């Protein structure tokens, strides 16, 4: 494991940085204010290869690892956590299909998703089952060569913009063993979405409730086997925690950079405020927290790339990186003082964006539960 990107990895980071700064950077503040999501940008990410980084080349991806994927997500998040989330969430169906999908599903769906021509989504949470995902109530009943899905889902990133949604539904009895995974394509008859949630942060990332009323899918749209859905969902979340951690690291870097730049130029009592220990130490702590989180994310990604167990490390990375992002962005607002609390500067948006990172892909309380259970097993 290297602590520095390889030349090829650095070239990918540099290309990502140039693209996102040029194409997304000028839009971020206005789109946050207007709660605007630009789906038309996703194919542009795809043209850069950024929407299918870990997907095998034969299915339209770059065929790289999560080490590269995490670096790409981090770089996007330095400019726009919302579009980092867009790329990461659209990647979840790809990761699921690449591992558990049939050859037919891979041929039909992966090239469109990996290219960014189609946008993916993941539907697990429900109004009555968030952290307790195994208690979900959406049903899938088989009739001959079709399944009929009924139920409601919450917190669906991309909602009506999604072209391909992996939906977890109950095909058997209570508990995790009764859950199966299905491909539901956007626009399916009986599929509908509520209005976009009015969120504190990530306001240009659309989040919707989803309703399934007698939605029919082919038996071939079952992913894996009946009863394997919970295993599939948990594996996807393990991978997703790496990308959420990477998003939080990118956000922390942006906030720390903004605070340091301001503190170097803002003068009080005849000198730059970074030269006062009260401010300088805050900025030092931001750097420590960000670099520590980045190393945890990179370790989890490296373990995944090596085919080694990484569940505990992914939970650590997600928990540490998102807690760090909340601290770093809050301190960045403090460094900027009154200016930091206004929309004239980006750090107030960064602080709003950071909070949800501690909630999505399993709350940080759930991450601590995952970690403690691994430790208890020895």
131: confidence class by pLDDT, cuts 50, 70, 90: confident
pTM for this predicted structure: 0.95
Q: Give mean pLDDT, residues 146-155.
A: 97
Q: Tell me: the pLDDT tens digits for 250-292?
A: 999 999 999 999 999 999 999 999 999 999 999 999 999 999 9
pLDDT at 11 over 80: yes
Which pLDDT belongs to residue 189? 97
Query: Could you tell me how far CA 132 lies from the centroid of its own chain?
Result: 20
Copy the structure tokens of residue 285: 């702590």
The C-alpha atoms of residue 277 and residue 209 are separated, in whole angstroms, by 47
User: pLDDT for 94-121, tens place per residue?
Assistant: 999 999 999 999 999 999 999 999 999 9
Residue 187 has pLDDT above 90, yes or no: yes
Given the residues 68, 197, 348, 361, the one annotated as active site: 361
Looking at residues 57-71, what average pLDDT do you find? 97
Q: What is the residue whose two structure tokens read 């504190």?
A: 200
Residue 132: band (very low, low, confident or very high) from pLDDT cuts 50, 70, 90: confident
Pairing outcome for strands 222-223 and 179-185 = antiparallel
Q: What is the pLDDT of residue 59?
A: 95
CATH homologous superfamily of domain 7-114?
Answer: Acyl-CoA dehydrogenase/oxidase, N-terminal domain (1.10.540.10)
Output the pLDDT for position 236: 94
Contact 120, 163 (CB under 8 A): yes
How many alpha carbons fall within 13 Å on the CB side of residue 254? 28
pLDDT at residue 71 greater than cutoff 90: yes
> Where are the chain's structural domains?
7-114, 120-226, 231-377
Q: Which residues contact 345 (CB under 8 A, 6 or more apart)?
A: 258, 262, 336, 339
For 203-212, the pLDDT digits (tens) are 999 999 999 9
In this structure, which topology does domain 231-377 adopt according to CATH? Butyryl-CoA Dehydrogenase, subunit A; domain 3 (1.20.140)
| pLDDT score recorded for residue 197 | 96
| Per-residue confidence (pLDDT) for residue 52, from 0 to 100 | 96
- pLDDT at 128 (0 to 100): 87
CA–CA dist 139, 122 (Å, integer) = 16
pLDDT of 1 strictly over 80: no
The rounded mean pLDDT for the chain is 96
Q: Yes or no: is domain 120-226 CATH 1.10.1740.10?
A: no
| Residue 313 appears among annotated catalytic residues | no
Distances (CA, A) of 275 to 62, 252, 334: 45, 21, 16
Percent pLDDT > 70 in the chain is 100
User: SS3 for the chain, per residue?
Assistant: CCCCCCHHHHHHHHHHHHHHHHHCHHHHHHHHHHCCCCHHHHHHHHHCCCCCCCCCHHHCCCCCCHHHHHHHHHHHHHHCHHHHHHHHHHHHHHHHHHHHCCHHHHHHHHHHHHCCCCCEEEECCECCECCCHHHCCCEEEEECCEEEEEEEEEEEECHHHCCEEEEEEECCCCCHHHEEEEEEECCCCCEEECCCCCCCCCCCCCEEEEEEEEEEEEHHHEECCCCCHHHHHHHHHHHHHHHHHHHHHHHHHHHHHHHHHHHHHCEECCEEHHHCHHHHHHHHHHHHHHHHHHHHHHHHHHHHHCCCCCHHHHHHHHHHHHHHHHHHHHHHHHHHHHHHHCCCCCHHHHHHHHHHHCCCCCCHHHHHHHHHHHHHHC
Model pLDDT for residues 42-53, shown as the tens digit of each residue: 999 999 999 999
Structure confidence by residue, pLDDT tens digits, 311-358: 999 999 999 999 999 999 999 999 999 999 999 999 999 999 999 999
């Amino acid at each position: 494991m290297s602590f520095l990107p390889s030349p090829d990895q650095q070239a990918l980071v540099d290309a990502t940085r140039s693209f996102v700064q040029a194409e997304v950077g000028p839009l971020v503040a206005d789109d946050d204010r207007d709660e605007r999501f630009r789906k038309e940008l996703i194919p542009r990410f795809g043209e850069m290869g950024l929407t299918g980084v870990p997907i095998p080349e034969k299915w339209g991806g770059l065929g790289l690892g999560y080490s590269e994927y995490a670096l790409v997500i981090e770089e996007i998040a330095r400019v726009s956590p919302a579009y980092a989330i867009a790329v990461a969430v659209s990647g979840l169906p790809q990761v699921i299909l690449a591992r558990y999908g049939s050859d037919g599903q891979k041929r039909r769906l992966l090239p469109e998703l990996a290219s960014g021509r189609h946008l993916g989504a993941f539907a697990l949470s429900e109004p009555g089952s968030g952290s307790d995902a195994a208690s979900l109530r959406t049903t899938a009943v088989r009739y001959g060569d079709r399944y009929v899905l009924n139920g409601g889902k919450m917190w669906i990133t991309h909602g009506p913009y999604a072209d391909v949604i992996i939906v977890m539904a109950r095909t058997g009895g209570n508990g995790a063993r009764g859950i199966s995974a299905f491909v539901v394509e956007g626009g399916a008859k009986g599929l509908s979405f509520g209005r976009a949630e009015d969120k504190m942060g990530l306001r240009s990332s659309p989040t919707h409730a989803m309703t399934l009323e007698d939605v029919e899918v082919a038996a071939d749209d079952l992913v894996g086997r009946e009863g394997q859905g919970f295993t599939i969902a948990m594996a996807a979340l393990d991978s997703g925690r790496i990308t959420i951690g990477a998003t939080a690291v990118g956000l922390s870097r942006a906030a720390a950079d903004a605070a340091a730049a301001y503190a170097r130029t803002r003068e009080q009592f005849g000198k730059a405020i970074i030269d006062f220990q009260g401010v300088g130490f805050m900025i030092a702590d931001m750097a420590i927290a960000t670099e520590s989180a980045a190393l945890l994310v990179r370790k989890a990604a490296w373990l995944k790339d090596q085919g080694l167990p990484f569940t505990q490390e992914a939970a650590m990375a997600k928990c540490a990186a998102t807690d760090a992002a909340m601290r770093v962005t809050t301190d960045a607002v403090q460094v900027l003082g009154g200016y930091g609390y206004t929309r004239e500067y980006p750090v107030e948006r960064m602080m709003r964006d950071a909070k949800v990172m501690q909630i999505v892909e399993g709350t940080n309380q759930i991450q601590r539960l995952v970690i403690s259970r691994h430790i208890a097993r020895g």
